[in-house]
Amino acid sequence: MKVMKFGGSSVAERFAQVLQIAEDGGDDTAIVVSALGDTTDQLLRAIEEAREGKKGQSEPALDTLRALVDRSVKVATDALGAQHEAELRELVDRVTADLPRLLSGIAALEECSKATADRVLSFGERVAASLVAFGLRQRGRNAEMVDSGTWTVTDDSFGSAAVLWDESAARVRALAIGWHPATVYVHTGFLGRTRGGRPTTLGRNGSDYTATLLARALSASEITIWTDVPGVMTGDPSLVDEAYPVPHLSYRETLELGGLGLRILHPRTIVPLLESGIPLRIRSTLDPAAEGTRIDAVALGGTARDRPTCVTSLEDVVLFELEGSQKSEGIGIAPRALSALAEAGVDVWFASLAPRGNGIAILVARAQVDRARAALERVFAADEVRGALQKLRTTDDVTLLTLVAEAMGQAPNVAGRFFGALGALGINVRAATQGATSRAISAVVSQADTPAAVRAVHAAFNLSREQVNLLLLGVGTVGSQVLSQLGEQREARLRDHDLDLRLFGVAGRTKAVHRAEGLDPTAAHETLQREGAPWNIDALLDALARLPVPILVDCTASDDMAPVYLAALRRGIHVVAANKKPLADTFAQYTSLRAAARRAHRAYRYETTVGASLPIVETLANLVRTGDRVRLVEGSFSGTLGYLSNEVMAGVPLSRAVARAKELGYTEPHPRDDLSGKDAARKALILAREVGLPAELAQVVVAPFVPESILAHEDLGDFFAALEHFDAAFDERIRGLKAEGRVLRYLARIDLTQPVPTLEVGPVGVPAAHPATRLRGSEAFVAFTTERYAEYPLVVQGAGAGGAVTAAGVIADVLALSQGLRGR
Ligand code: ASP
Ligand code: MG
């Protein structure tokens, strides 16, 4: 046997789907249904209307009843066809025949006992079961409705009756003898009867309980609860976009979740399962193919530490804190506080004891706060007067955040990850416990932090997928390429690398736009044009810092970014930069940036500042880190000047080659920054500092590619005009080099073999045997001669300029950074 239970909203909203699923279940399936939609609430309303109306006035209640009947008929008619309408109406009228009389009785008496209320409520489930049985018969099945009151024996606590298990099980066994194997029985959920036969109900949402009781009595092999949520979610979907159904939970975990106000299954529902070991599955009628959540006896312990877990947040709670003074030795604060609250009927959601019991933090529902305060003040009044107790502290607006996982207390670092995720966002934990059951860890946080806290903890435990949030500064050549590459690769990155790289914001020179849920990178340019507002870096960074793995990406060529980096690092934001300037500023500033990153435990990556995305900085850093001694760094770092050299060697006039390089995105915004050699000098300086030299830019001996007089032109038009003028002279020089069998290259040299290391950049006519002659197009090349690489230098070579490769390098830095954080 199998048991399937259908929730009220599924029956009301997807009647045909319910029938289909029930039918697919086959003959050996027992069905349990709840009342359609909000029928139970409507029946309660009818009771109120009857009771509260003028004496004997039952009209409003009967109107409510009529509406209910009409809706029930309509639900089934819509699914089964108009030809059945008369028959369905007759059926529903028959099932509800006693209701008008009952409601009139209530109206006449102006009161309704709990017993009578249960009688009224029972109609909801009886109508639902009758309709489903009818529907199955229309599909050619033998189906019959069963009033579960005929087998659910309860005590007489009407409204929320306790089930007498042995008697109920005996009844099922007796009844089952008469059940035909080829008939599908559709049981009402929620309903019971006393031994004397008076109708009772099992409490709100009691149908699930009926289903697990029936499953146990029938020794069913499994039970499925079909509802309108896809399963037990890893987090509250209204807070966490990425919440998804947990594939598996143990009974005990489910109990833990039930105790935390997760409404999906009442803890009582689990009891018959715990006792029988029958697995339960929660699935959605909205998506019948999805697996949903399986709940069974299997406790996946320490071996499965990375399986998904649930994060719950309980809001509208209040934190009480009691703390003793020196005089409080032995007054037993904790036990007295807890028993006072128990006596006052206050539910304690959380209690955390100070070591030695000299203080306690207690969480109660806001609704019970006055009662709790009164109870605590009463028991401790005398102690407070005596000075043995400090004043009772109350903190409103808090949330109880809990992570539930069977592996808790077995797997290492669960608490570390939990608190680490909160700490990374700067969320203050006011109190915490790791449950005695070791299946839960809880923290009390400010209510205002709830969404961020839930998301962070959820991500730390449930997302193999990592969310990374980028704030892109600069939408020039490189920035634009970063945007388009982010857009193009998004899907693949999610699919293949579990990485959700989000564009939190974009800032141009004057305007910025940002969105916590992320911008579409491909449309970011237009969004910036349309919605951009003057930017305030502090506000941007503050917002960015609230998101998982925040990264500031600097694709500007701006001079004054160092304070921005410092502000970002201070907030826990990582920095990835293609901008050389902050690194090539004073040595003092350089060290302060690196130190700030180290202090904040954040990354500052800048691979693209030398040779675009070629692994030059990283390679050198690794040599230094591993204790190699660098002797000589020589290379053509500037892809731009490399490209120009090749073009002019091939006979292209210099001015034309520069214009083309600019078009291709090989140059800095103003090409003179390349031609002056300044850009190459900055790169040499960055590498020198990477080696550990406390060098300043002024120490780099720079010979420009073209004379200073040309470089002086600020205006691009004038600049190009001057270049054209120079073309002939330059050509003369090239011809001279060629005659000597030499090749023009713009080289940088950091020579560390000298007592005082030298840094030089400049044009060189290299002989044909030099490795730099091999460079084509915008290729860059660096040779590291070190103690280990003494005879054959370590050479890195490849395309070293251009928006696309630089952008790819920027993204590579972002990826390397997030991989480092994930440890893979
Ligand atoms: N119809 C009842 C209620 O609304 C029982 C159930 O839905 O499980 O509480
Ligand atoms: Mg319900």
Residue 351 near residue 363, CB atoms below 8 Å: yes
Task: Locate the ligand 1 atom nearest the alpha carbon of residue 41 and give its number.
Answer: 4
Q: What is the pLDDT of residue 302?
A: 43
Q: How far is the CA of 206 from the centre of ligand 1 (A)?
A: 6
| Torsion on CA atoms 765, 767, 772, 773, rounded to nearest 10 | 100
| Ligand 1 atom having least distance to the Cα of 35 | 1
User: Is the CB of residue 190 below 6 angstroms from any atom belonging to ligand 1?
Assistant: yes
Contact 125, 34 (CB under 8 A): yes
Task: Provide the pLDDT for residue 219.
Answer: 96
pLDDT for residue 785: 95
Lowest mean pLDDT segment, chosen from 75-79, 135-139, 665-669: 665-669
The residue among 332, 318, 319 whose CA lies nearest residue 389 is 332
To the nearest whole number, what is the mean pLDDT of the chain? 90
* Residues surrounding ion ligand 2 at CB below 5 Å: 8, 34, 205
Cα–Cα distance for residue pair 128/178, rounded to 1 Å:
23
Mean pLDDT of 450-461: 85
pLDDT tens readout for residues 148-205: 999 999 999 999 999 999 999 999 999 999 999 999 999 999 999 999 999 999 999 9
Residue having the nearest C-alpha atom to atom 6 of ligand 1:
205
Cβ of 124 closer than 6 Å to ligand 1, yes or no, is: yes
pLDDT at residue 412 is higher than 80: no
- 549 within 8 A of 821, measured Cβ to Cβ: yes
Which range has the worst mean pLDDT, 265-274, 278-287, 315-324, 459-468? Answer: 459-468
Start-to-end C-alpha separation, the chain: 46
Please determine, for residue 769, whether its predicted confidence score (pLDDT) is greater than 80. yes
Among all bound ligands, the one having the nearest atom to the CA of 201 is 1
HSE on the CB side for 697, CA within 13 Å? 17
What CA–CA distance (Å, rounded) separates 469 from 368?
41
Tens digit of pLDDT for each residue in 231-249?
A: 998 888 888 877 889 888 8
For residue 258, the CA-to-ligand 1 centroid distance in Å is: 17
Atom of ligand 1 nearest to the CA of 208: 8
CA–centroid distance, 691 to ligand 1, in Å, is: 72
Residue 637, pLDDT above cutoff 90: no
Which single residue is written with the structure tokens 């003494």? 790
State the average pLDDT over residues 585-591.
Answer: 96
Task: Give the pLDDT band of residue 252 (cuts 50, 70, 90).
Answer: confident
3-state secondary structure (DSSP) of residue 188: strand
Q: How far is the centre of ligand 2, averaged over its atoms, from the C-alpha of 151 (Å)?
A: 21
Ligand 1 atom nearest residue 203's Cα: 9
Please say whether the beta carbons of 4 and 282 come within 8 A.
no
Would you state the pLDDT for residue 824? Answer: 42
Q: How much distance in Å is there from the Cα of 205 to the middle of ligand 2?
A: 5
For residue 172, report the distance from its CA to the centre of ligand 2, in Å.
24
3-state secondary structure of 72: helix
Distance, CA of 399 to CA of 311 (rounded, Å): 12
Asked if residue 566 has pLDDT above 50, the reply is: yes
State which amino acid sits at residue 590.
Y
- Tokens found for residue 105: 């009785």
Strand ranges of the sheet holding 604-605, from the earlier edge strand across to the other edge = 533-534, 511-519, 499-507, 466-473, 550-554, 574-577, 604-605
Whether the Cβ atoms of residue 709 and residue 734 lie closer than 8 Å to each other: no
Enumerate the β-bridge partners of residue 574: 551
Ligand nearest to the CA of 191: 1
Q: Of 71-80, 112-121, 533-542, which gets the smallest average pLDDT? A: 533-542
Average pLDDT over residues 131-143: 96
Q: How far is CA 612 from the centre of its chain?
A: 33
C-alpha 43 – ligand 2 centre gap (Å): 13
What is the H or E stretch that residue 231 is in?
Answer: none
- Ligand in closest contact with the CA of 263: 2
pLDDT tops 70 at residue 464: no
| Residue identifier of the C-alpha nearest atom 7 of ligand 1 | 205
pTM over 0.75: no
Ligand 1 lined by 34 (C-beta under 6 Å)? yes
pLDDT > 70: percent of the chain: 96
Please give the number of the atom of ligand 1 that sits closest to the Cα of 206: 8
Question: Cα torsion at 763, 768, 774, 778 (round to 10°)?
Answer: 20
- To test the pocket of ligand 1, the residue of 207, 208, 209, 269 to mutate (highest count of ligand atoms within 8 Å of its CB) is 207
Q: What pLDDT band is residue 301 in, cutting at 50, 70 and 90?
A: low
Q: How confident is the model at residue 800 (pLDDT cuts 50, 70, 90)?
A: confident
Nearest to 444 by CA among 453, 238, 529, 89: 453
Q: Is 382 exposed, middle or buried (0-12, 13-18, 19+ CB in 10 A)?
A: exposed
Which residue minimizes the CA distance to atom 8 of ligand 1?
A: 205
Which residues carry out catalysis?
683
Q: Identify the pLDDT of residue 324.
A: 84
Ligand nearest to the CA of 148: 1
- Give the pLDDT band (50/70/90) at residue 303: very low
- Kindly give, in sequence order, each residue whose CB lies less than 8 Å from that of residue 743, ignoring residues fewer than 6 positions away: 645, 649, 737, 765, 766, 768, 770, 772, 773
Q: Which of 126, 160, 200, 204 to mutate to test the pocket of ligand 1 (most atoms within 8 A of CB)?
A: 204
Residue 300 is predicted with a pLDDT of 67
Q: Half-sphere exposure of residue 300, counting CA atoms within 13 Å on the CB side?
A: 18
Q: Is 8 in the pocket of ligand 1 (CB under 6 A)?
A: yes
The token duo for 457 is 């903890």
Q: Is 693 left (phi over 0), alpha (psi -120 to 50) or beta?
A: beta
- The number of beta carbons lying within 10 Å of the beta carbon of residue 299 is 15
- Report whether pLDDT(540) > 60: yes
